[in-house]
């Protein structure tokens, strides 16, 4: 026998006999309270990692730790890994017995991660730019000093200078992605590319001091020393002249000279490779429903027909003879409803701010603390921008909510739209919903602020809630004392029909082969939109498939839930309580919202005394 074995065998036997033959007891399973805490901790860690990976999203919500960065070169790979890692970790947590807040977070977080992961099955990264989500234009907005990038200290200027240094590499990656798309037949429609070119050209100048990026250097903080002003002026002059503006010129020339000739004549996503499956995914992601594309199209047709009937009723009140299309044409040319200056248009919206602020307590017990300002959309992007848009306030209260008004082409901004647009975009629409969520510390950060990077467009599972709420807010006008003028009521009905039309034309173009002109004609026939707005809107749907479906689907769900609560509770229904419940948890997928409201109805029915 091997002498080594004669020693080793008895030793192994001795060691084997030394241990406890009873295996150690398994550790006790975590309690429901511990698992609930684990869900909260997981979502918080996710959001921290998300912000580090998406630094512009952090800036957008007022978190300025990453103001010196742009997304990394391998952003897509890191993002996919992030979503998968946290989904795997979440599903290892036993969901049984979680407290209500943790159960809500679990449901929303899991839904969000699965939708996000599915986005990587589709080549959205090969279409990095369009006229409505033009990241290069958004970067110019950052550099203007008038949006979310702060320029209050020397450090702020240095941080944005670091972003300026990264911009040429970001442009290079965008061009590389579009070249890959050209090779694979995944390119933007020609009309989208044509609209992008002027936006890029607007950032090219031979005089650095006329650049939008120069604006912060005209408004140095009073406390900044002269030496620092001189240093930053020289630094920005070099960065803009040597790196940034040449990068814009490179992107512009590529889009004009190489990409535009390869752009496609068709407009529907369904015309791209595997485009039908891609569009079906976007429809699900933006509406947070399982409705098929065909169901959504039919819903739109029914809603358009219903609203045509309501519009016809108001037409009788005002004594108009003709069909809806004729009324829309007459209103578009009626000088009574035209603003003559940008100042008149802005003043009209500022008047609505005072009215809505005074009336809101009738229907709302929850009111945001953040202020709201009315501002014009910047000149460099107004031609392709929508009629109005809302920017959320910062969490620290230093930046108010901003209601942007498009003052371009005043003839296409009729006065009868003012009330309904303000109710949607501002009070009690987006400003209430967004600001209340941001101000509520009980809502986890990933839901308070959202996870949507302006430089990385992916479907946001809160769109149907957020935009559905905005459209529902329009319907509250009569209860708030608005729409007393029949023309303002027509403006409201046309606005709702506009959202119903979206269901028809978005699905029509992306799934049924509709042309751009066919969609524009349908919108002109059923809304009061002028050709300028109708064209811009249809081109928005071309560039942003599926997003426009969220508005009407979301609004219909809010109205359905309110009607359900009114029917179930009768005299015990309080609209202020209903709105507090709807807004109290922040933006949710519609299925989750419905479950929450159903639970609230049961609770109110069981605890509220019946009216005598």
Asked if residue 165 belongs to a domain, the reply is yes
Q: Please tell me whether residues 305 and 247 are part of one structural domain.
A: no
Q: Which of 555, 583, 604 marks a domain boundary?
A: 555
Please tell me what DSSP assigns to residue 150. Answer: -
Cα 582 from Cα 588, distance rounded (Å):
9
Interacting residues of 459 by C-beta distance below 8 A, sequence separation 6+ = 115, 119, 282, 285, 286, 546, 547
Within this chain, do residues 429 and 333 fall inside the same structural domain, yes or no?
A: yes
145-159: per-residue pLDDT in tens?
A: 988 899 999 999 999
Of residues 80 and 322, which shows the higher confidence score?
A: 80
Do 257 and 111 belong to one domain?
yes
Q: Do 481 and 408 fall within a single domain?
A: yes
- Residue finishing a domain among 222, 241, 268: 268
Q: Is residue 370 part of a domain?
A: yes
Q: What is the pLDDT of residue 609?
A: 63
Say which DSSP state 372 is in.
Answer: E
Based on the fold, state whether residues 165 and 285 are members of the same structural domain: no
Inside any domain, residue 10: no
* Same domain for 291 and 253: no
Torsion angle (degrees, nearest 10) of CA 49, 53, 59, 65? 60
| Maximum Cα–Cα distance across the chain | 115
State whether 165 and 224 are in the same domain: yes
376 and 416 inside one domain? yes
Residue 260 sits in the same domain as residue 333: no
Residue 401 has pLDDT above 80, yes or no: yes
The answer to whether residues 326 and 438 belong to one domain is yes
CB-based burial of residue 441 (10 Å sphere; 0-12 exposed, 13-18 middle, 19+ buried)? exposed
Tokens matching residue 187: 């390119």
Specify if 23 maps to a domain.
Answer: no
**Domain finish residue from 221, 242, 268:** 268
What domain range is 180 assigned to?
32-268
pLDDT score, position 533: 79
The verdict on residue 561 lying in a domain is: no
- Helix residue ranges per DSSP H, 120-225: 135-144, 154-184, 190-201
Query: Residue 14 falls within a domain, yes or no?
Result: no
Q: Could you tell me if residue 468 is inside a domain?
A: yes
Please give the tally of structural domains in the chain.
Answer: 2
Three-state SS string over 410-461 comes to HHHCCHHHHHHHHHHHCCCCHHHHHHHHHCCCCCCHHHHCCCCECCECCCCC
Residue 310 pLDDT > 70:
yes
Residues 341-394 pLDDT 10s:
999 999 999 999 999 999 999 999 999 999 999 999 988 778 767 789 998 888
Task: Confirm whether 598 is domain-assigned.
Answer: no
State the helix-helix crossing angle for 293-318 and 324-333, rounded to 10 degrees: 70
Residues 286 and 235 both lie in one domain? no
Q: Name the nearest CA neighbour of 407 among 349, 452, 345.
A: 345
Q: pLDDT (tens digit, 9 = 90+) per residue, 202-229?
A: 999 999 999 999 999 999 999 999 999 9
d(CA 406, CA 398): 24
pLDDT at 11: 34
Name beta bridge partners: 374. Answer: 403
Contact 585, 443 (CB under 8 A): yes
Answer yes or no: do 366 and 473 share one domain: yes
């Amino acid at each position: 026998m091997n002498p080594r074995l004669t020693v080793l065998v008895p030793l192994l036997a001795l060691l084997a006999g030394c241990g406890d033959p009873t295996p150690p007891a398994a550790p006790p399973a975590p309690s429901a309270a511990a698992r609930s805490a684990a869900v909260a901790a997981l979502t918080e860690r996710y959001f921290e990692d998300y912000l580090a990976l998406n630094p512009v999203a952090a800036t957008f919500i007022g978190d300025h730790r990453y103001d010196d960065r742009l997304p990394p070169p391998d952003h897509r790979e890191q993002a996919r890994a992030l979503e998968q890692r946290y989904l795997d970790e979440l599903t290892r947590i036993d969901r049984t017995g979680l407290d209500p807040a943790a159960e809500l977070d679990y449901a929303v977080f899991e839904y969000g991660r699965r939708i996000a992961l599915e986005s990587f099955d589709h080549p959205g990264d090969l279409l990095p730019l369009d006229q409505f989500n033009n990241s290069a234009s958004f970067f110019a907005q950052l550099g203007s000093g008038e949006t979310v990038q702060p320029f209050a200290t020397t450090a702020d200027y240095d941080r944005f200078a670091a972003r300026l240094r990264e911009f040429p590499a970001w442009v290079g990656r965008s061009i590389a992605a579009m070249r890959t798309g050209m090779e694979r037949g995944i390119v933007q429609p020609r009309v989208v590319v044509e609209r992008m070119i002027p936006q890029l050209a607007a950032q090219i100048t031979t005089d650095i001091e006329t650049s939008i990026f120069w604006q912060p250097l005209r408004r140095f903080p009073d406390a900044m020393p002269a030496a620092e002003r001189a240093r930053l002026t020289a630094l920005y002059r070099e960065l803009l002249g040597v790196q940034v503006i040449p990068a814009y010129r490179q992107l512009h020339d590529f889009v004009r000279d190489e990409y535009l000739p390869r752009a496609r004549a068709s407009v529907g996503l369904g015309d791209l490779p595997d485009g039908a499956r891609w569009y079906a995914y976007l429809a699900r992601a933006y509406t947070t429903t399982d409705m098929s594309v065909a169901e959504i199209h039919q819903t739109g047709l029914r809603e358009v027909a219903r609203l045509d009937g309501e519009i016809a009723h108001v037409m009788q009140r005002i004594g108009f003879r003709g069909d809806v299309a004729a009324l829309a044409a007459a209103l578009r040319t009626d000088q009574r409803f035209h603003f003559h200056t940008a100042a008149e248009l802005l003043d009209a919206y500022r008047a609505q701010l005072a009215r809505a602020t005074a009336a809101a307590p009738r229907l709302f017990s929850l009111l945001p603390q953040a202020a709201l300002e009315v501002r014009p959309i910047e000149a460099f992007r107004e031609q392709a921008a929508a009629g109005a848009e809302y920017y959320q306030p910062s969490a620290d209260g230093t930046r108010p909510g901003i209601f942007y008004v498009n003052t371009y082409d005043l003839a296409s901004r009729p006065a009868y739209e003012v009330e309904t647009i303000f109710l949607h975009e501002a009070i009690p629409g987006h400003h209430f919903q967004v600001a209340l969520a941001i101000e509520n510390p009980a809502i986890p950060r990933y839901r308070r602020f959202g996870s949507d990077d302006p430089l990385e467009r992916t479907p946001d599972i809160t769109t149907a809630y957020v935009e559905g709420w905005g459209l529902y807010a329009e319907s509250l006008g009569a209860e708030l004392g608005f729409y007393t003028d029949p023309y303002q009521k027509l403006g409201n009905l046309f606005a709702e029909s506009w959202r119903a039309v979206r269901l028809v034309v978005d699905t029509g173009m992306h799934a049924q082969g509709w042309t751009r002109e066919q969609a524009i004609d349908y919108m002109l026939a059923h809304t009061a939109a002028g050709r300028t707005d109708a064209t811009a809107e249809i081109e928005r749907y071309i560039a942003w498939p599926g997003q426009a479906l969220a508005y009407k689907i979301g609004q219909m769900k809010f109205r359905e839930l309110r009607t359900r609560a009114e029917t179930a509770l009768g005299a015990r229904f309080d609209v202020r309580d209903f709105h507090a419940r709807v807004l109290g948890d922040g933006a949710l997928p519609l299925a989750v919202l419905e479950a929450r409201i159903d639970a609230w109805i049961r609770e109110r029915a069981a605890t509220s005394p019946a009216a005598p």
